[in-house]
Chains A and B, each alone.
Chain A
Amino acid sequence: MVGAYVALSLALPLALLAARALAEGASPTGATIGGELWLLASGRSLALAATVALLACAGAYPLARALPAPLLFALFLISPLARALGVLGLGLPPGALAVALAELAGALPLAALLVLLRLRALDPRWLEAAADLGAGPWTRWRTITLPLLRPTLASAALWSALVSVGDIATLELAGGGKLYALALLLREVAFSLEDPATLTILSAALLALTLPCARALLGAIDALAAPGQGHGGAGALPRPRAALRALAALAAAIAVLPALGLARLAFSTPKDMSLGTSIGAAIEASARTHPPLAALAAIAGFALALRRPRLGPRLGALLVLPLAIPPAVQGILALEVGRAIALPPGELLTLWGLAPASLALAYLAGRLTLAGLPLALDEAACDLGAGPVARLRRLWIPLLGRPAAGVALVLLALLLGAVSVPAFTSGPGGSTLAVALTILARGSGSGAVALVTLTLALAPLLLVPLAARLGGPRRRP
């Protein structure tokens, strides 16, 4: 089943793209992008991704020690559109610095969240043993904590870099549309040049690169919930010293600054109320499509996570793969599916394009949730005579229903702010709120757009604490 799903969402669209390239030739329109520009864009994208990943990793540990997990997660889920508009709201001119700051504001909480989860999974007895053997706080950090965090930091760097390479909204807005990078060229090739051969080669190359990344990502997530650990390692760490607190404050400021810039933009720029109709239509479309997708993905992700003993690491990595694929490539693949089945860009195609990453995130969340539960529970229920329906009703829905509802809320926050995939799939004018806002923001600097984007940015800050409350231990009446 998983194989069929992956084939349908990844392999088949790539094969269709390749088939079209063979049938239509390199560039049916005759227009091409010069090698020099490709080199420049690739170099710029990689340099930007590397800078963002490096800085995110440098700030991850202090930030993880300063902010709670729900806040980090909420900051990570803030739409790239909001961050991009926010850095401009701070007064930065569009360009490389603005793009880097906007991307770093998303990468920092992501890296810090992974580090925090890893710290929680570390056995505090390792630090106690090191102290017992004579290691002071700095030596403990250098010889125990840092080496144990290294794989997590590597995964965080990789994830941040991949998100950066495939990010379109930030490049368009904070880059002023002139900062040509790989994701923008891919969109150019997809829409203006309609060059399937180049798209096939680039998509295949990026997909091949992301498979080991997905394996690493899955391994990192499993390590976060390693069995027999989770003794509250983060709580056992000594109180942060002044230097660490200063670094944490700097990292937190970088993560929060775009939101402040957005607020400034929203309340200081004149509002063009004529945009109300188009924004209203986009809100309606998002409200129609995103909640059902979030709910379905959460249910499917948890259902697949329940099959973990039967899904080996390879199939698990395939499920997680969409999280590692640059969003621009996912957009291209969804567009190709739409072309093959004559489904024009719009709401349905956007749902198809957003589904794989949503399912992947829900699957990861399900794995993390289930890691805290013994696998023998299902066997025990079976042994006591519970059939599949009884097990679902009496065991898994009571145990996982609330966490799954929490994950659905988180997915909703993510979907509301998603821009890069819908930029390919949503059609003219945009069939999601985030894309419509991106288009409007590109066209005018209206305070109305900034105000709605600010509301969009606040959604994760409201939904994630609610999700954490749902996912936490149930209160007894």
Chain B
Amino acid sequence: MSLTLVDLSRRFPGGVLALDRVSATLPAGAYTCVMGASGSGKTTLLRAIAGLERLDGGSIVLGGAPLDRLPPERRPVHTVFQGYALFPHLDVAANVGFAARLAGLRGPALAERVAALLRDVGLDAPGIAERRPAALSGGQQQRVALARALAGEPRLVLLDEPLAALDRPLRADLRRMLAATQRARGLAFVHVTHDPEEAMALADHLLLLDHGRLIASGPPAALYARPPTLAAGRLLGELSPLPGAGGRWIRPENLTLGTHMMLAGDPERRATVARLVAQRCLGDRWELELALGERRLIARAGAPLAEEPGAEVTLTWRIADELALPR
């Protein structure tokens, strides 16, 4: 069931344009990530789809049926909120069973659905279902929020920065859990994030927002490799400027440290000499900061260089990896 967004516009009191005629079609059963910097309008877009934010213009169509006139409670869309918004006065089971109970499910059928969902999200340890949200860890709360959203059998699940409050190892675990849950159910997920790594790892389809405008959409790997604009390219990762005029850029991992000798007989490569400013360990790789005249370049390496800061190093790259990006 595909989701179509047509010319969505929203201006907040005070004049801030949160959504500027956003149009997109999100594929059925796909994991879509919406990425953008703070204030880019991504949460507003999600809340508009959920019916929690009024639109000034435009239309939202899910599986051919417009949602515009439906209040949030009647939309077949459930949300995992940022900070989770678990009901503090209800235990885990009652939180998860909230929507199913509203749909008329009671007794053993309700208990069975809640238990199955808790099992699916890895919360089937004894005693968890009876706990209040305040007695859960951040990761457990996130799992409860996902189970709660799934329990009402929505046709679309919206996730508003669901991993933002978690530490890095937990985030990776839960990211895999989200992907597995989406695949297993074949449901469409729309996930808002500002983390490019999270978006690239999860998305089948990626939307990039900037100041309320949709600046790019498509498969994440393709957008990363060939962003349509400089802003889209920077949202997805770092870019280093290349020498010469014309606004050519390159991803740091595509810069290689080598010698002019390497270029002999390789018409597909270019090279330049830069000065090493600093090198920093990022754990699994090293980040090299280089100066090329007034320009600052970032390159990556598997191991630190033997050269000291200030030394001259040769950078090479494939011409095919150069990006000509309009501003």
Residues of A bordering B, CB below 8 Å: 123, 125-126, 128-136, 139, 143-144, 147-148
Which chain A residue shows the least CB distance to B103? A134
Known A132-B50, A134-B152; contact A125-B78, beta-carbon cutoff 8 A: no
* Cβ contact within 8 Å between A126 and B85: yes
Taking a contact as CB atoms closer than 8 A, the residue among B78, B86, B88 that contacts A132 in the complex is B78
Contacts of A148 in B (CB 8 A): 88-89
Does B69 lie at the interface of the complex (its beta carbon under 8 Å from any beta carbon of A)? no
Contacts of B86 in A (CB 8 A): 129
Taking a contact as CB atoms closer than 8 A, the residue among A123, A126, A131 that contacts B73 in the complex is A131
* Cβ contact within 8 Å between A133 and B89: no
Known A126-B87, A148-B89; contact A131-B71, beta-carbon cutoff 8 A: yes
Taking a contact as CB atoms closer than 8 A, the residue among A129, A131, A134, A136 that contacts B87 in the complex is A129
Chain B CB count within 10 A is highest, among A126, A128, A129, for A129
* Cβ contact within 8 Å between B85 and A133: no
Contacts of B85 in A (CB 8 A): 123, 125-126, 128-129
Which chain B residue shows the least CB distance to A127? B85
Which chain B residue shows the least CB distance to A136? B73
Excluding A132-B72, A134-B99, A135-B98, 5 further A-B contacts by CB distance (< 8 Å) are: A130-B98, A132-B75, A132-B77, A134-B73, A148-B89
Contacts of A129 in B (CB 8 A): 79, 81, 85-87, 148
Which chain B residue shows the least CB distance to A131? B72
Does B102 lie at the interface of the complex (its beta carbon under 8 Å from any beta carbon of A)? yes
Does B138 lie at the interface of the complex (its beta carbon under 8 Å from any beta carbon of A)? no
**Interface positions of B from 14 to 45, Cβ below 8 Å from A:** none
**Bound-complex Cα distance A125 to B87 (A):** 9
**Interface positions of B from 52 to 85, Cβ below 8 Å from A:** 52, 71-75, 77-79, 81, 83, 85
Taking a contact as CB atoms closer than 8 A, the residue among A125, A128, A133 that contacts B102 in the complex is A133
Taking a contact as CB atoms closer than 8 A, the residue among A125, A131, A134 that contacts B83 in the complex is A125
Contacts of A132 in B (CB 8 A): 50-52, 72-73, 75, 77-79
Chain B CB count within 10 A is highest, among A130, A133, A144, A148, for A133
B50 vs chain A, min Cβ distance (A): 5
Contacts of A123 in B (CB 8 A): 85
Contacts of A147 in B (CB 8 A): 89
Supply 14 A–B pairs (Cβ within 8 Å), ascending by A: A126-B87, A128-B50, A128-B79, A129-B86, A129-B148, A131-B52, A132-B50, A132-B75, A132-B77, A133-B73, A133-B99, A134-B99, A134-B102, A136-B73
Interface range on chain B (Cβ under 8 Å from partner): 20 to 34
A16 vs chain B, min Cβ distance (A): 45
**Bound-complex Cα distance A270 to B319 (A):** 102
A348 vs chain B, min Cβ distance (A): 48
Contacts of B98 in A (CB 8 A): 130, 133, 135, 143
Contacts of B148 in A (CB 8 A): 129, 133
**Bound-complex Cα distance A263 to B87 (A):** 47
Complex interface bits, B185-220 against A, C-beta within 8 A gives 1, otherwise 0: 000000000000000000000000000000000000
**Bound-complex Cα distance A139 to B79 (A):** 18
Shortest 7 CB-CB contacts between residues of A and residues of B: A125-B85, A133-B99, A131-B72, A129-B85, A134-B102, A147-B89, A132-B79
**Bound-complex Cα distance A130 to B77 (A):** 12
Chain A CB count within 10 A is highest, among B75, B87, B99, for B87
**Interface positions of B from 86 to 135, Cβ below 8 Å from A:** 86-89, 98-99, 102-103
* Cβ contact within 8 Å between B88 and A133: no
**Bound-complex Cα distance A116 to B52 (A):** 23
Taking a contact as CB atoms closer than 8 A, the residue among B50, B87, B102, B152 that contacts A139 in the complex is B102
Which chain A residue shows the least CB distance to B145? A129
Contacts of A133 in B (CB 8 A): 73, 78, 98-99, 102, 148-149, 152
**Bound-complex Cα distance A134 to B103 (A):** 8
Contacts of A131 in B (CB 8 A): 51-52, 71-73
B49 vs chain A, min Cβ distance (A): 10
**Bound-complex Cα distance A129 to B152 (A):** 12
A441 vs chain B, min Cβ distance (A): 47
B106 vs chain A, min Cβ distance (A): 15
A278 vs chain B, min Cβ distance (A): 55
Contacts of A126 in B (CB 8 A): 85, 87-88
